[in-house]
A = this chain, B = another copy of it.
């Protein structure tokens, strides 16, 4: 029921009556905008953020190169969007749940997911927590409170509402942050999630990375509105739009959003305006649908450089440190990649575990039949045949699965 004023002439509104400004703190020079104040952020934390952004960038560049060399089947970069994801993650409690779409590796890096852990997933080897079942980039970590990625778009959004509702009942003062693209926000699940969060007063932060594209589809073909932010009004939800390439602004906005969520059970929508600088994925070539010029313009808004300049101006970072960091990261990527590539695939039994909590008799029969088949044709199934060999020491499935 509504309690609004009356009018006696028909008057249509279309939302042009108001507009949602963009919150920015840092200029591309690394200086603060006039009138802007930096958020409270100590040297260590600022360097942690910077380190995570750079490590993410290096990982992305190297792994895309590895994919081009045929070492990896598939990869997705988040180049250009590091500030949005890392900045948001830095503003959260480390025990807050994160539900990501697939372009949020920066959050994992920030929380301490090791390159080894990344690599094991990317190569789907026996140490992959996901047991080699999902495509590369479908990371997950229980100990880092990072929900395993699932490819269907939008599904994680109402799940985040539910997860956060559980957190609220548990009363542990934690919240959930869910990341999604401006494309995924068109799914029906988005509507369900935001409406339910507002009705049930759920401590959840909906973080939309508006990076301008959903594969080849530009955002003007995704929605007619001024971005995703105005949708919050339809749910009476708090909303803020932020410069997604400005890590300080993202950090501060998310910090305050978290306060609204955890202290007042107010869900919040954050729209981070940014740009997907790389291709959608290793299977994509953006030259078919956008101009180099457009890309160049955004390359000049590089979020990492922006933060670096700010740090250097404060003497919190130096060129030497930069060089050393870049080198060590590159070395680490190569070493961990080599290790992961060499690791054996998950054992045959992993084909039928985790479908249910306990293996069903029917599945056991199917596995047994498969095993005798593979025994007959071991060369045809080199990965499977490995685990038939009684000499292969199988890892304890339950050890160190990112549990704690």
Interface residues of A (CB under 8 A from B): 1-25, 33-37, 186-192, 195, 198-199, 212, 219-228, 230-242, 249, 252-253, 256-257, 260, 268, 273
Set B11, B20, B236: member contacting A240, Cβ < 8 A: B11
- Structural contact, A21 and B36, CB atoms closer than 8 A: no
Number of copies: 2
Set B35, B198, B212, B252: member contacting A10, Cβ < 8 A: B252
Nearest 10 Cβ contacts at the A-B interface: A188-B188, A15-B233, A231-B234, A191-B191, A8-B36, A198-B224, A225-B236, A12-B238, A5-B21, A7-B21
A199 partner residues in chain B, CB cutoff 8 A: 221-224
Set B8, B18, B238: member contacting A18, Cβ < 8 A: B18
A260 partner residues in chain B, CB cutoff 8 A: 12
- Structural contact, A17 and B15, CB atoms closer than 8 A: no
Set B23, B190, B232: member contacting A191, Cβ < 8 A: B190
Q: With A198-B223, A224-B236, A236-B224 in contact, do A23 and B5 touch (Cβ < 8 Å)?
A: no
- Structural contact, B6 and A240, CB atoms closer than 8 A: no
- Structural contact, B219 and A1, CB atoms closer than 8 A: yes
- Structural contact, B225 and A4, CB atoms closer than 8 A: no
Alpha-carbon separation in the docked complex, A195 to B228 (Å): 11
- Structural contact, A223 and B195, CB atoms closer than 8 A: yes
Alpha-carbon separation in the docked complex, A224 to B234 (Å): 9
Alpha-carbon separation in the docked complex, A239 to B15 (Å): 9
A190 partner residues in chain B, CB cutoff 8 A: 191
Alpha-carbon separation in the docked complex, A256 to B14 (Å): 14
Alpha-carbon separation in the docked complex, A2 to B283 (Å): 29
Alpha-carbon separation in the docked complex, A237 to B11 (Å): 13
Q: Could you write out 21 A-B pairs with CB less than 8 Å apart?
A: A1-B219, A2-B241, A3-B226, A5-B19, A6-B23, A6-B33, A8-B33, A9-B37, A10-B23, A11-B23, A12-B240, A12-B257, A13-B20, A15-B234, A186-B192, A198-B225, A224-B236, A225-B235, A225-B236, A231-B234, A232-B234
Q: With A4-B21, A19-B5, A20-B4 in contact, do A187 and B186 touch (Cβ < 8 Å)?
A: no
Q: Smallest distance from the beta carbon of A165 to chain B beta carbons, Å? A: 14
- Structural contact, B233 and A230, CB atoms closer than 8 A: yes
- Structural contact, B219 and A225, CB atoms closer than 8 A: no
- Structural contact, B22 and A34, CB atoms closer than 8 A: no
A13 partner residues in chain B, CB cutoff 8 A: 18, 20, 232-233, 238-240
- Structural contact, B232 and A231, CB atoms closer than 8 A: no
Q: Smallest distance from the beta carbon of A392 to chain B beta carbons, Å? A: 47
Q: Smallest distance from the beta carbon of A181 to chain B beta carbons, Å? A: 14
A25 partner residues in chain B, CB cutoff 8 A: 8
Q: Smallest distance from the beta carbon of A384 to chain B beta carbons, Å? A: 40
Q: Smallest distance from the beta carbon of A287 to chain B beta carbons, Å? A: 20
- Structural contact, A268 and B12, CB atoms closer than 8 A: yes
Alpha-carbon separation in the docked complex, A8 to B35 (Å): 7
A224 partner residues in chain B, CB cutoff 8 A: 195, 198-199, 235-237
A222 nearest in chain B by CB position: B199
Alpha-carbon separation in the docked complex, A223 to B187 (Å): 18
- Structural contact, A212 and B36, CB atoms closer than 8 A: no
A231 partner residues in chain B, CB cutoff 8 A: 231, 233-234
